[in-house]
Amino acid sequence: MVLSANINPKSWICALAITLSVNALSVNSKSASPDDIDDSASNLIHALGPQGVNLLQLRNSQKSHNAKLFVQDGSSSYGFNLGDEVEDPFSEFLPHYFEQPLDHFAKTNHTFGQRYWVSTRHYTPGATGTPVFVLDGGETSGEHRLPFLDTGIVDILAAATGGVGVILEHRYYGDSIPVSNFSTDSLRWLNNDQAAADSANFMANVIFPGVDEDLTAPGKPWIYYGGSYAGARAAHMRVLYPDLVFGAIASSAVTHAALSNWEYMDVIRLAAEPKCAANLVGSIEYIDNILALSQQGKILKGLFGLASLEHDEDFVSLLTKPLVAWQGKNWDPAVGSPVFDVFCAALVKPPSHFASSPAVVDAPFGDESRMVEVEGLMLDYAVLNYANFIHEKLVPWLCPEGDVEGCFGTFDDAHWDPTSLDSIWRPWLFQTCTQWGYFTTAPPDQNQPRIISRLLDLAYAMRPCQQAFPPGKHFKIPTMPNITAVNALGGFEIAADRLAIIDGEVDSWRPYTPHSRYGADREDTLTRPFKIIPNGVHHYDAYGLRNSADEPEEIRKIHGEMIEFVVDWLKQWKV
In Å, how far are 78, 187, 207 from 201, measured between CA atoms? Answer: 42, 20, 12
Which residues neighbour 482 within 8 Å (Cβ) at sequence distance 6 or greater?
434, 435
- Confidence band, pLDDT 50/70/90 cuts, at residue 86: low
Write the CATH number of the domain with boundaries 95-255+489-572: 3.40.50.1820
Tell me phi and psi for residue 49, to 5 degrees. 60, -130
Tell me phi and psi for residue 216, to 5 degrees. -75, 160
pTM of the model: 0.89
pLDDT tens per residue, range 536-557: 999 999 999 999 999 999 999 9
**Residue 380 a catalytic site member:** no
Residue 355's pLDDT is: 67
Q: For the chain, give the percent of residues with pLDDT over 90.
A: 78
3-state secondary structure of 246: strand
- Confidence band, pLDDT 50/70/90 cuts, at residue 24: very low
> Is 80 exceeded by the pLDDT of residue 83?
no
Catalytic residue (choose from 26, 228, 251, 508): 228
What average pLDDT does range 357-378 have in this prediction?
91
pLDDT tens per residue, range 316-345: 999 999 999 999 999 999 999 999 999 999
From the centroid of its chain, how far is CA 168? 18
What average pLDDT does range 149-161 have in this prediction?
97
Eight-state DSSP code of residue 470: -
CATH 3.40.50.1820, the chain: domain bounds: 95-255+489-572
Average pLDDT, the chain: 88
**Residue 332 a catalytic site member:** no
Catalytic residue (choose from 119, 507, 508, 541): 507
> Is 70 exceeded by the pLDDT of residue 33?
no
pLDDT tens per residue, range 47-79: 888 888 888 887 776 665 443 333 333 333 323
> Is 90 exceeded by the pLDDT of residue 375?
yes
> Is 50 exceeded by the pLDDT of residue 5?
no
Which residues neighbour 70 within 8 Å (Cβ) at sequence distance 6 or greater?
31, 32, 33, 34, 81, 83, 85, 86
| Contact by Cβ (8 Å): 340, 328 | yes
pLDDT tens per residue, range 109-127: 999 999 999 999 999 998 8
